[in-house]
Amino acid sequence: MSLEAVTAKKVSKELPEWVKEALKSAPEEIIDVCYGEDVKVELPAEDTFLKLLVKFAKTRGDETALREKEYGIWQRISWRDYLENVKSFALGLTALGFEKDDKITLIGDNRPEWLYTYLGAEAALGIPFGVYQDNLPEQLLPLITNSKSRWVYCEDQEQTDKILSIIKELPELEKVIVEDWTGMWRYRENPMIISFREVQELGRKLAQKEPNLFEENVNRQTRNDLACFVTSSGTTGTPKCVMLSFENMMYMGLAMQKVVPMGPDDRYFSFLPFAWIGEQMMSLSCGLTAGFTVNFYEEPETVWRDFREVGPTIMFGPPRIWRDIVAQIQVKIADSGWLRRKVFDLALKAGYARVELEFKGMKIPFWLKLVKPLCYVLAFRSVLDKVGLRRMRHAYTGGAQVSIDDFKFLRSMGVNIKQIYGQSEISGISCLHRDGEVDPWTAGKPLPGTVIAITKTGEIISKSPAVMKGYYDRPSSKAIVNDWLYSEDFGMVDAKGHLICVDRMADIIVLQDGTRVPPQHLENRLKFSPYVREAMVLDHGKPYVTAILNIHPENTGKWAEDHNIPYTGYVDLSQKPEVYDLMEKVVKDVNRDLPDSMKIRKFTILYKEFHADDDEMTRTRKLRRPLIRQRYKEVIDALYSDANEISFLGEVKYEDGRRDMVRVKMQIRKVE
Partner 1 sequence: MSVILEAKDVHVRFGGVIALRGVSLDLKKGELLALVGPNGSGKTTLLNCICGFYRPQRGTITYKGMDITKTPVHKRAQMGIGRTFQTPYVFPGTVLDNIMAGYMTKHGGILKSLSFKGITEAREYAEKLIDFVELEPYRTAHAEGLAMGLRKKVELARVLMWDPDVLLLDEPTSGLSIDEKRDMARFVLELNEVLGKTVLLVEHDMSLVHDVAHRVVVLDTGVKIAEGSPEEVVKNPAVIKAYLGE
Q: Which residues bind partner 1 (CB under 8 A)?
A: 70-73, 183, 185-186, 298-299, 301-302, 305
Number of CB atoms found within 10 A of residue 404's CB: 15
Of 302 and 382, CB closest to partner 1: 302
Contact 262, 290 (CB under 8 A): yes
Give how far the C-alpha of residue 345 lies from the chain's centroid of Cα atoms, to the nearest Å: 31
Distance, CA of 160 to CA of 60 (rounded, Å)? 36
Question: What is residue 596's three-state secondary structure?
Answer: helix
Of 305 and 516, CB closest to partner 1: 305
Distance, CA of 89 to CA of 113 (rounded, Å)? 10
Contact 631, 662 (CB under 8 A): no
Phi-psi region of 167 (alpha: psi -120 to 50; beta: other; left: phi over 0): alpha
Distance, CA of 426 to CA of 467 (rounded, Å)? 4
Kindly state the smallest distance separating residue 182's Cβ from partner 1, in Å. 8
Number of CB atoms found within 10 A of residue 201's CB: 14
Of 302 and 641, CB closest to partner 1: 302
Of 183 and 237, CB closest to partner 1: 183
Strand pairing report for 175-178 and 499-504: unpaired
Kindly state the smallest distance separating residue 56's Cβ from partner 1, in Å. 30
Which amino acid is it at 144?
Answer: I
Distance, CA of 2 to CA of 321 (rounded, Å)? 24
CA distances from 234 to 282, 411, 489 (A): 21, 31, 13
Of 74 and 352, CB closest to partner 1: 74
Kindly state the smallest distance separating residue 305's Cβ from partner 1, in Å. 8
Kindly state the smallest distance separating residue 65's Cβ from partner 1, in Å. 23
Question: What is residue 209's three-state secondary structure?
Answer: helix
Burial label, 45 (beta-carbon count in 10 A; 0-12, 13-18, 19+): exposed
Helix 157-165 vs helix 137-146: crossing angle, to nearest 10: 70
First to last CA, the chain: 26
- DSSP H or E stretch at residue 527: helix 519-527
Kindly state the smallest distance separating residue 268's Cβ from partner 1, in Å. 22
Kindly state the smallest distance separating residue 134's Cβ from partner 1, in Å. 16
Distance, CA of 394 to CA of 282 (rounded, Å)? 12
Kindly state the smallest distance separating residue 82's Cβ from partner 1, in Å. 23
- DSSP H or E stretch at residue 49: helix 49-59
Of 301 and 596, CB closest to partner 1: 301
CA distances from 459 to 7, 452, 505 (A): 15, 10, 7
Of 45 and 73, CB closest to partner 1: 73
Give how far the C-alpha of residue 112 lies from the chain's centroid of Cα atoms, to the nearest Å: 20
Kindly state the smallest distance separating residue 160's Cβ from partner 1, in Å. 14
Kindly state the smallest distance separating residue 188's Cβ from partner 1, in Å. 10
Of 9 and 186, CB closest to partner 1: 186
Kindly state the smallest distance separating residue 274's Cβ from partner 1, in Å. 20
Which amino acid is it at 88?
Answer: S
- DSSP H or E stretch at residue 315: strand 314-317
Kindly state the smallest distance separating residue 430's Cβ from partner 1, in Å. 38
Kindly state the smallest distance separating residue 481's Cβ from partner 1, in Å. 50
Kindly state the smallest distance separating residue 183's Cβ from partner 1, in Å. 5
Nearest to 127 by CA among 245, 277, 228: 228
Contact 529, 547 (CB under 8 A): no
Of 17 and 301, CB closest to partner 1: 301
Of 476 and 568, CB closest to partner 1: 568
The set of residues, in sequence order, having a beta carbon less than 8 Å from that of 46 and lying 6+ positions away, is 52, 54, 55
Of 72 and 514, CB closest to partner 1: 72
The set of residues, in sequence order, having a beta carbon less than 8 Å from that of 369 and lying 6+ positions away, is none
Of 72 and 191, CB closest to partner 1: 72
Kindly state the smallest distance separating residue 153's Cβ from partner 1, in Å. 21
Q: Where are the beta strands (DSSP E) in 398-529?
A: 417-423, 428-432, 445-446, 451-455, 459-463, 470-471, 480-481, 484-493, 499-504, 509-510, 516-517
Of 596 and 656, CB closest to partner 1: 656
Of 145 and 157, CB closest to partner 1: 157
Distance, CA of 643 to CA of 568 (rounded, Å)? 27
Give how far the C-alpha of residue 454 lies from the chain's centroid of Cα atoms, to the nearest Å: 23
Distance, CA of 25 to CA of 182 (rounded, Å)? 55
Of 138 and 299, CB closest to partner 1: 299
3-state DSSP of 380-411: HHHHHHHHCCCCCCEEEECCCCCCHHHHHHHH
Kindly state the smallest distance separating residue 73's Cβ from partner 1, in Å. 8
Question: What is residue 152's three-state secondary structure?
Answer: strand
Of 299 and 651, CB closest to partner 1: 299
Of 181 and 648, CB closest to partner 1: 181
Distance, CA of 663 to CA of 667 (rounded, Å)? 13
Contact 494, 442 (CB under 8 A): yes
Kindly state the smallest distance separating residue 300's Cβ from partner 1, in Å. 9
Kindly state the smallest distance separating residue 317's Cβ from partner 1, in Å. 21
Strand pairing report for 267-270 and 293-296: parallel
